[in-house]
């Protein structure tokens, strides 16, 4: 046990040295842009769902057959209801936006690496839009 940031730093050092690693993480998170699942690491799976309490009947097996032992979590944009009513176009836009997890991981990694100023983030946004212009145009 220890400080998560220190353990991640140790994990990255061990990985770079070619040593075995085992770590716990979540997504989106910058670490998954550095240690890319499917390329550098694999998500461990379980043979069956086994949750307790209110989740005891939850099946954690995904449609593709993978089972990571935890239910899938989704992130959503939330807004104050009064604000959304005053800004219905924005509310519709927020309901349409879906970002790939790899892109969120990459943004987290850039910010973690020191590119976290407002100017940096605006540059990242502009770059993302340019790289995904057709998708962005459909949203707008």
- The reported pTM is 0.80
Topology given in CATH for the domain delimited by 4-55? D-Maltodextrin-Binding Protein; domain 2 (3.40.190)
84-107: string of b/e by CB count within 10 Å (b at 16+)?
A: eeeeeeeeeeeeeeeeeeeebbbb
Taking the domains of the chain in order of start, what are their residue ranges?
4-55, 81-139
Contact 64, 45 (CB under 8 A): no
Three-state SS at 127: helix
| pLDDT tens digits, 42-99 | 999 999 998 999 999 999 999 999 999 988 888 889 999 999 999 999 999 999 999 9
> From CA 9, how far away is CA 14, in angstroms rounded?
9
């Amino acid at each position: 046990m220890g400080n998560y940031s220190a353990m991640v730093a140790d994990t990255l050092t061990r990985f770079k040295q070619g040593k075995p690693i085992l770590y716990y993480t979540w997504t989106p998170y910058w670490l998954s842009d550095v240690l890319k699942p499917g390329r550098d690491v694999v998500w461990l799976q379980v043979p069956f769902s086994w949750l307790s309490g209110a989740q005891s009947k939850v099946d954690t097996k995904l449609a593709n057959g993978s089972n990571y032992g935890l239910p899938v979590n989704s992130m959503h944009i939330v807004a104050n209801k009064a604000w959304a009513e005053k800004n219905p176009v924005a509310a519709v836009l927020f309901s349409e936006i879906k970002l790939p997890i790899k892109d969120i991981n990459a943004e987290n990694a850039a910010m973690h690496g020191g590119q976290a100023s407002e100017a940096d983030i605006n540059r990242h946004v502009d770059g993302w839009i340019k790289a995904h212009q057709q998708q962005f145009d459909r949203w707008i």
